[in-house]
Structures are given as structure tokens and as C-alpha cells.
Amino acid sequence: MSLTTGLTAIVDGQTPPFAFGNFDYWCAKAPLPLCSLVSSAANPATTEALCFGRNIEFTSSSGAYLLFEPATLFIQLVSLMMALIMIYYIRTKYTAVGRKEIVMFFYMYCATTVLDFLLVGGIIPPDSAAYKYLTALHAGLLVSTFWSLMYNGIVGFQWTEDGTPTSLWTLRLSTLGVLLVTFTVAILTFLNLGGLSSSAPTGLFILYLIFPAIFIIVYLALQITLVVTTLDDRWPLGDLIFSFVFFVIGLVLEFVVGPEICELATHYVDGMFFGNVGTLLGVMLVYKFWDSITKEDLEFAVSGKANVWETRNPLLNDDEQSIMGTPNGIKNDSW
């Protein structure tokens, strides 16, 4: 039996079966922030991951402190820096279509990453009074980030003029609504209030896992339709497809083979590290896709980026186009 096969057999023997409506399977694969707050009635002790990255201990005069998932925290810092760089470049494209809408998605991604950093790293300990509320907020930010991405898929169809108060406030209010609904369901689940229970978190399961998947699928369908029906260039589809592929690979490495990776890497990294890498690559390619399908008006662009535009009058044939393009309207074959 190979090492990989042996580890797989060991880990799979301890992994709870997948069941719709509870987080046992997911929490056994990766140490999600909410795992210490939810468990099924049948498996109340399966909220801890089977394998997780090594911790770093800090000592001071006031005591010893543990920093959890250091490798994951490192890639989250990289993710935050890359997101800020992308936000900067988006903001310099002053006349780009959907600029204000897409930057909202990156702001949401940054906020989710920062809070995930604090919760996953144990900087906010699970036994603190604020942990449940911040974890509920993290769930709300996560789901609303995917919602804002899907909304950006609608912007390209110009249901209303992008960048206008109508478009921006629709995005802001709907995103806030998704965040508040998810936060409310999460905190009521954690506190076992309002008919919701941490031992049967079906509502939170649907919001946390099913809705983001739906938002991504809708975004992909809308953007593929947009490229196919309105653009002559098909190359942006490559950015879109690879974005989805990297994201899915990250999920597979985190939630399918995460414990096996952790064991093979002797706990230096685990599936959560690769999940964050896959998400970062996916987000970067979302920016690349948006940038590749976005044009700036050269008359008003002040970003300093050199662009070459070819304008063609569909009422003129090729010879007339070449004549119009030469000085004084004189056709010159050497041009």
C-alpha cells in the first residue's frame, strides 16, 4: 500500500459522511471559523479538523500565545496586498464600464479576508464573547461578497447606466441586505434562538454553501453570454474559465483531500492554505477578465496607460476607410 493510499484510508475512516444541512464533513476537512459553533446532534464532537497546520507559539511577560494556521495567514496577507493593488488599478480606470461596481466586490473581498485572518489565526479566540458575533459577520461578508460578484455580472447588460446612483445604491443596499440576512441567521443559529439550532444548522448551511455556488454559476453564465453576444474577441473567456478552474481546484484541495495534504506536508501546510491560494488566483483572474473586456474613453482617460484604438465606419468600404485615414484624404499605399 502506498503512503498516499494509506493516509487516505486512515483519514476517510474518521471523516463523517456528507449530509445536507450540517457542517460535520466540511469541518472535518478544514478548520472553518464557524466549526466550533455548529455540530450535528449525531456527531457533537466532530467540529475539529482531522488535520491542521502547525501553530506558532509566542511568549511574553503576560503569558504564552498561539498563532494558528501561519501558512494560511501568510497567503491571506498576500491576498490582501494583491487585492489592494487591483483596487488601485481599477480606480485609475476613470471611464471604464462598471468601475465603481467591480471595486465594491474587491472591497468586500478585502473585508472578508481581514476578518478571516483574525478568526482563523486565533487572534480573536473562540472563547471570547465577541467570537460568535464576528463569525456571524464573517459568514455575512462571505455570502455578500459572492452576491456582489454576481451583481457585477448583471452590470455589463446595462439594465441601468453603470456608475449612476441607481446602479450603485442597488448594489449597496442589496449587498447589505444579503449580509444582514446571513448575519441574522448565523447568530441566531449560534445562540440557538428563533427556532434555529446549532445542532441542525440547515438554514445557515444553505446560505453559507449553496447560495455562493448559485451566485458563481449565475455570474459565469451571464459573463459567457455577454462575451459571446457582444464582443468580437473570445480571449476573455480564457480568463473567466481559468478563474473558475482555479477556484474549484482550491475547493477540492481544501475540502476533498485537505487532510491528506496536511499529513503529507507534516502539518506545515494544510488544505486551507491551498484553498486560499485557489481563491486568490480566481479573484485575480476576475480582475483580468474585467480589465480585458473594459474599454476606456481616451478623451477622458487620465491613467496614463497607452491604448491604441481602431475606429471603423461601417458605412465605408475598406478603400474609403484607408483614404479617410491618410492626411488630406490622399490614399497612399505605403501607409
Q: What is the pLDDT of residues 243-269, one digit of tens each?
A: 999 999 999 999 999 999 999 988 889
How many CB atoms within 10 Å of residue 190?
Answer: 23
pLDDT band at 311 (very low <50, low <70, confident <90, very high): very low
Contact call for residues 272 and 72 (beta carbons, < 8 A):
yes
Whose cell is 455540530? That residue is 39
- Rounded to whole angstroms, the Cα distance separating 118 from 138 reads 10
- Rounded to whole angstroms, the Cα distance separating 138 from 167 reads 25
Which of 293, 25, 251, 247 has the alpha carbon at shortest distance from 153?
293
Contact call for residues 297 and 307 (beta carbons, < 8 A):
no
DSSP string covering 172-232, please?
A: HHHHHHHHHHHHHHHHHHHHT-TT-BTTB-HHHHIIIIIHHHHHHHHHHHHHHHHHHHH-S
SS3 307: coil
**Mean pLDDT (whole number) for 24-50:** 79
Q: Which three cell numbers stand for residue 317?
A: 468600404
Q: Which run of H or of E encompasses 273?
A: helix 271-293
The pLDDT mean for the chain works out to 83
Q: Which three cell numbers stand for residue 91?
A: 480606480
Distance of CA 74 to the CA centre of its chain: 17
For residue 305, is it left (φ>0), alpha (ψ between -120 and 50) or beta? beta
Of 128-137, 257-266, 290-299, minimum mean pLDDT range: 290-299
pTM of the model: 0.82
- Rounded to whole angstroms, the Cα distance separating 331 from 168 reads 48
Which of 266, 271, 276, 273 has the alpha carbon at shortest distance from 54?
266
Contact call for residues 10 and 99 (beta carbons, < 8 A):
no
SS3 63: strand
Whether 320 shows a pLDDT value over 60: the answer reads: no
Note the pLDDT tens digit of each residue in 178-220. 999 999 999 999 999 999 999 889 999 999 999 999 999 999 9
Beta bridge pairs of residue 63: 60
pLDDT band at 81 (very low <50, low <70, confident <90, very high): very high
Contact call for residues 49 and 35 (beta carbons, < 8 A):
yes
- Rounded to whole angstroms, the Cα distance separating 35 from 169 reads 34
